[in-house]
Structure 1
Amino acid sequence: MSCTENESGPFVVFFLPAVVGCLTILLARRWANSQVNNTSSTAVSRRRKIIKDPLIKRPLPPIACKMMPPGSKKATGVNKKGTFPVPEEDMNGGGKRIGRISRPPSTTTLPAVGLPEIKLADGPVAPKHIPFPYIPQDGTLLFEAMTFVFTLVATGLQFLNLYRTAWWLPHSYTNQAMNFYLIDPHLVAFIVTIICRKLLLSMSLAVLRIFLVPKLMPHITIATRMFILGLVLGALAWCTYFIVLKYPIMKIFYLCYPAVIYFLLFGFHSSPFLELNNSDPPLHCCSHDAAQVRAEVDALRQDFNVRMKKIIFNSVVGAYYSSFIPCCFAQSYLYYDVYAASQQTAFVWAGLFARYTSQLVSATYCDVPHRAALHLGRWRPDNTCTEGCEVSEWCGARVWARGARVLAGSRTFVALSPAVAADPNSVAHSRFHTVFVNPSLLLCGMLCLQLSLIVLQLCLLFSSIQWHNFISIVILLFINYYTLFKMVRDYLVAWKVYKAENMIQDKNGSVHPVSN
């Protein structure tokens, strides 16, 4: 019986993961709606409701129903020092007398005929934030364990693509699915040491936290990191010594090539090599100081760039050692399918990239740069400004309101956001605001890429592929389904939260600031 025939196996394997994926998406959407309903409802409505307890029979306090003209203050019964005299009094529903404080005529009034009544603010409108709901994330130990299992399985699948046998034939000389005697054990030990380095440190720190007090953990963490680093480098050196004795120097260069990339990206720091992210999550500070807002944005931008470097490096290293290195060290007389090996490498890299992205650039993390982006604002080059337009010289010590026109360098810019503290000539500020003003778009792009990967793998299951490629795609699909679940959950929660926040911003947008 040949395993390359087009039987009903692909259909069974397709429908089972498809049903599991659909159920996962439905459960994530239901969970997201339940998490955001309370937050969005309390955030959108800013009215204070008087709730009467049915168990306590007491009347509600009387509510004044006096209509106030535009531009006047609310009614109050307290005549504070320094206020204007009370010219008249009105009766409320409870029979008490309430005073209405008059105020001098405002200098900024609107015509009474033909224009809507719009309240004018004296300065930029501060952005409003709503609390972001809690989204559970994988712990460091769980994430590293799952990533290690995924990479280890991918390594075994690549060796299967290279050293497979026709064990099912009746006159085959072997009864094993792989030619294990052709696999170099020192190469396998080198690959396993590389892909388990972060898991070793995570397990060690998790065990030490159980037996040690928290105040000793900073010093123990440094000592444990140095011990694991020495252990990993020693094991790699031992494996490299035996590999050098059997292979030419060019293949040794392939083996050590990622080390050059690591030093170019991170220098001589050892923490990115052993830990995915050892820094505290960034925090946001609502400030009305323009210089402080720009400093916070620069810090968040650097943190995001470091995270992207870690995502790219760790995903490339995982796919490089698990799928590419076995092909480089294959015997010269060995014939294997180059297309299948390349496809395996690409799928492993895409799966690892999605996993690291969902862990380091989650919806919870994106909310902090989003809040900073609202305070930062954005400028747009203004080419329609004429000589009659009022243009001010840009000053970095103030926050500009929407519609303000400034002159920076030799160009004129106009403010597009309710509050703008960005530098008009800074491309980094403009790019930061574009990416994080609505992080749900970023999460949606990541989700679309993950969906495209899964759809491509499902389409390959229907094609006439060999049995080892079929097994590789099926196994890689399961970890991609888990990543898809996390991305769908993050996107749905972020989409609901920022939709509610936009409603608040639109409501506050009725208060138009005065252009400075």
Structure 2
Amino acid sequence: MSSRSHYRSGKKSLKFLKETKNNESDSSQKSTDPKKPDYNPPGLIHPRWPELPAGQGELFFECTLFLYSVLALFLQYLNLYKTLWWLPKSYWPGSFKFYMINPYLLSCIGLMLGIRVTKCFWNSITELFNILNIKRDSAFWTTIEYGILKTPICTMVLSSFVFSFTRVYVEYSFKALFYFAIPLFAYFFLLWTGFDKIKEEDKIQHGFDEGSGLYKIFKPFFFFAAYIFAIKRSNSLMDLETVAHLCTNNPTQNRAEANELTRDFFNRLKYSIFAGLSTAYLSIYLPCVFLPEKSNYGMQQYLLINNAWIIQLFIIVALTSFSVYFTYLIPLPYFDLLQKSIFHLGFWEQLDRKPSPDEHVMEFSEDFPYPYMDKQIISHNDQYFKACATKGCMTVAAYPGDAAQFFFFMLIKSV
């Protein structure tokens, strides 16, 4: 199933599925470990997911959503600039007050609505030429890719937006900058919320001696580049075509899988929310902000608009765009992957009392090689927790007191 997102700056899969596979070969050697719980783990068999037809491609989906946003924009302009042509004594020759519509504003809004389609088309060209030029060493294919396709497309889009926005800025000055910058700042804030930290894989291998003068000169650039790469890595989405659930009783691997899926799920959720709100903002709200204040003769004019109808249209467009994007980014097989993850994860219930002497209490350890039994009581950070396994599973692999894992478990369990 194709589920590549336009926000996906790099494809990634569950790396821990490959990093910890070697642990299974050691499980037989640990069978005599005295720390092992006195039980035999049941054979965990997940329900088999039925074969589903392949979903629509990314480019087709983005074009469909773009056409929907254009339709919403048309309805908003029809609501704002409609005439009373149907009245018996109406002198309006048509249904639109075309002379009041600013074509440059309409061009800016349309180009911003289609930015995801442009980026998706860019990614499609990249994937095509990755197949044609696998080693990326052919000057012929590189010239066609950038000289004939990518560069002219980006030049046309950017030049059209700059030309149109310049005309809008001349008329509205700072107001145009402020309202058109809101989606950009919202997107940067969206990326910042997903930022984790700079890891070694994000740093550039510069080859300079850290005590040299060149390194001190380029150090801010290296840090900024590592920061950008860290944001790109933290906000990228997993490629669902290459991800598979590895059923294991290793608690370290179960926690790593849950943490990665938690991060990925909330990234998909916030991208869906941003897509819904940005579509409604551009197609419904911006036309109301930039209403013509003067007539062609320079006289002040005021348009009467139905605010209640506009609010309803904004909510409908936002919810529709969100739901469409959510179902695209989170298909049914992805929910199956989440369900399998929380099946092993379980959760810990914090106790508000001190365990009695008859209750067996264990000290929680991240390095403990086996999951904890259901209803097992453990102590962690001077607090006591009780293991609560999912139905059909006898063990818990979650980290006690981890709010993100607990919320992820409860959310997916209720779906």
User: Structure 1 residues 140 and 269 mapped into 2: Cα distance closer, same or farther (>3 Å)?
Assistant: farther
Decide which of 315, 318, 330 is 2:276's aligned counterpart: 315
User: Structure 1 residues 203 and 429 mapped into 2: Cα distance closer, same or farther (>3 Å)?
Assistant: closer
Give secondary structure in 1 for the equivalent of 2:179: helix
User: Structure 1 residues 124 and 212 mapped into 2: Cα distance closer, same or farther (>3 Å)?
Assistant: closer
Decide which of 349, 357, 378 is 1:387's aligned counterpart: 357
**1:465-480 alignment to 2 at 5 Å?**
none
In the alignment, the residues of structure 2 paired with residue 239 and residue 278 of structure 1 have an alpha-carbon distance, to the nearest angstrom, of 34
In the alignment, the residues of structure 2 paired with residue 321 and residue 383 of structure 1 have an alpha-carbon distance, to the nearest angstrom, of 50
Post-superposition CA distance 1:224-260 (Å, at most 9, x none)? 7787666544432222111011114224311221111
Q: Is 2:115 the partner of 1:145?
A: no
Letter in 1 for 2:73: T
User: Structure 1 residues 305 and 426 mapped into 2: Cα distance closer, same or farther (>3 Å)?
Assistant: same
Would you say the 8 A contact 2:238–2:264 is kept in 1? no
In the alignment, the residues of structure 2 paired with residue 348 and residue 391 of structure 1 have an alpha-carbon distance, to the nearest angstrom, of 54
In the alignment, the residues of structure 2 paired with residue 176 and residue 142 of structure 1 have an alpha-carbon distance, to the nearest angstrom, of 34
Identity of aligned residues (%): 26
In the alignment, the residues of structure 2 paired with residue 138 and residue 350 of structure 1 have an alpha-carbon distance, to the nearest angstrom, of 21
In the alignment, the residues of structure 2 paired with residue 227 and residue 134 of structure 1 have an alpha-carbon distance, to the nearest angstrom, of 42
Q: Is 2:333 the partner of 1:364?
A: yes
Note the C-alpha offset of 1:209.
Answer: 6.2
In the alignment, the residues of structure 1 paired with residue 135 and residue 86 of structure 2 have an alpha-carbon distance, to the nearest angstrom, of 55
Would you say the 8 A contact 2:237–2:268 is kept in 1? no
Q: Is 2:399 the partner of 1:423?
A: yes
Note the C-alpha offset of 1:264.
Answer: 1.6
In the alignment, the residues of structure 1 paired with residue 80 and residue 258 of structure 2 have an alpha-carbon distance, to the nearest angstrom, of 49
Aligned to 2:214: none
Letter in 2 for 1:419: T
Aligned to 1:159: 77
Post-superposition CA distance 1:265-314 (Å, at most 9, x none)? 225979x99xx987512432223221121112111111112112211111
Decide which of 305, 315, 321 is 1:352's aligned counterpart: 321
Give secondary structure in 1 for the equivalent of 2:171: coil
In the alignment, the residues of structure 2 paired with residue 218 and residue 193 of structure 1 have an alpha-carbon distance, to the nearest angstrom, of 31
Q: TM-score, normalised by structure 2?
A: 0.68
Could you tell me which runs of 5 or more consecutive residues in structure 2 were left unpaired when the two chains were aligned: 1-36, 193-226, 294-301
Note the C-alpha offset of 1:404.
Answer: 1.3
Would you say the 8 A contact 1:378–1:422 is kept in 2? yes
Could you tell me which runs of 5 or more consecutive residues in structure 1 were left unpaired when the two chains were aligned: 1-119, 443-516
Note the C-alpha offset of 1:190.
Answer: 0.7
Letter in 2 for 1:179: K
In the alignment, the residues of structure 2 paired with residue 212 and residue 299 of structure 1 have an alpha-carbon distance, to the nearest angstrom, of 28
In the alignment, the residues of structure 2 paired with residue 147 and residue 185 of structure 1 have an alpha-carbon distance, to the nearest angstrom, of 22
User: Structure 1 residues 431 and 208 mapped into 2: Cα distance closer, same or farther (>3 Å)?
Assistant: closer
Give secondary structure in 2 for the equivalent of 1:412: strand
Note the C-alpha offset of 1:216.
Answer: 3.7
Would you say the 8 A contact 1:294–1:422 is kept in 2? yes
In the alignment, the residues of structure 2 paired with residue 226 and residue 389 of structure 1 have an alpha-carbon distance, to the nearest angstrom, of 70
Note the C-alpha offset of 1:166.
Answer: 0.4
In the alignment, the residues of structure 2 paired with residue 326 and residue 217 of structure 1 have an alpha-carbon distance, to the nearest angstrom, of 47
Would you say the 8 A contact 2:347–2:388 is kept in 1? yes
User: Structure 1 residues 248 and 290 mapped into 2: Cα distance closer, same or farther (>3 Å)?
Assistant: same
Aligned to 2:239: 280
User: Structure 1 residues 212 and 415 mapped into 2: Cα distance closer, same or farther (>3 Å)?
Assistant: closer
User: Structure 1 residues 229 and 297 mapped into 2: Cα distance closer, same or farther (>3 Å)?
Assistant: farther
Letter in 1 for 2:52: I
- What is the aligned-residue RMSD (CA, Å)? 3.2
User: Structure 1 residues 206 and 423 mapped into 2: Cα distance closer, same or farther (>3 Å)?
Assistant: closer
Aligned to 1:245: 170
User: Structure 1 residues 368 and 234 mapped into 2: Cα distance closer, same or farther (>3 Å)?
Assistant: farther
Note the C-alpha offset of 1:205.
Answer: 5.2
Letter in 1 for 2:65: T
Greater RCO (Cα-Cα under 8 Å, separation 6 or more): 1
Aligned to 1:254: 179
Aligned to 1:134: 51
Give secondary structure in 1 for the equivalent of 2:385: strand
Letter in 2 for 1:134: E
User: Structure 1 residues 357 and 335 mapped into 2: Cα distance closer, same or farther (>3 Å)?
Assistant: same
In the alignment, the residues of structure 1 paired with residue 151 and residue 248 of structure 2 have an alpha-carbon distance, to the nearest angstrom, of 40
Aligned to 1:408: 380
Aligned to 1:304: 265
Letter in 2 for 1:257: I
In the alignment, the residues of structure 1 paired with residue 103 and residue 270 of structure 2 have an alpha-carbon distance, to the nearest angstrom, of 31
User: Structure 1 residues 202 and 263 mapped into 2: Cα distance closer, same or farther (>3 Å)?
Assistant: closer
Letter in 2 for 1:394: F
In the alignment, the residues of structure 1 paired with residue 349 and residue 183 of structure 2 have an alpha-carbon distance, to the nearest angstrom, of 42
Note the C-alpha offset of 1:187.
Answer: 0.8
Give secondary structure in 2 for the equivalent of 1:133: coil
Would you say the 8 A contact 1:413–1:424 is kept in 2? yes
**1:188-207 alignment to 2 at 5 Å?**
188-203=106-121, 206=124
In the alignment, the residues of structure 1 paired with residue 136 and residue 388 of structure 2 have an alpha-carbon distance, to the nearest angstrom, of 46
Aligned to 1:341: 310
In the alignment, the residues of structure 1 paired with residue 152 and residue 252 of structure 2 have an alpha-carbon distance, to the nearest angstrom, of 42
Aligned to 2:24: none
Note the C-alpha offset of 1:179.
Answer: 0.4
Letter in 1 for 2:409: H
Note the C-alpha offset of 1:158.
Answer: 0.2
In the alignment, the residues of structure 2 paired with residue 181 and residue 278 of structure 1 have an alpha-carbon distance, to the nearest angstrom, of 45
Would you say the 8 A contact 1:126–1:375 is kept in 2? no
In the alignment, the residues of structure 2 paired with residue 182 and residue 426 of structure 1 have an alpha-carbon distance, to the nearest angstrom, of 57
In the alignment, the residues of structure 1 paired with residue 145 and residue 406 of structure 2 have an alpha-carbon distance, to the nearest angstrom, of 39
Aligned to 1:328: 289
Post-superposition CA distance 1:394-426 (Å, at most 9, x none)? 122231111211111222222111221111121
User: Structure 1 residues 307 and 230 mapped into 2: Cα distance closer, same or farther (>3 Å)?
Assistant: farther
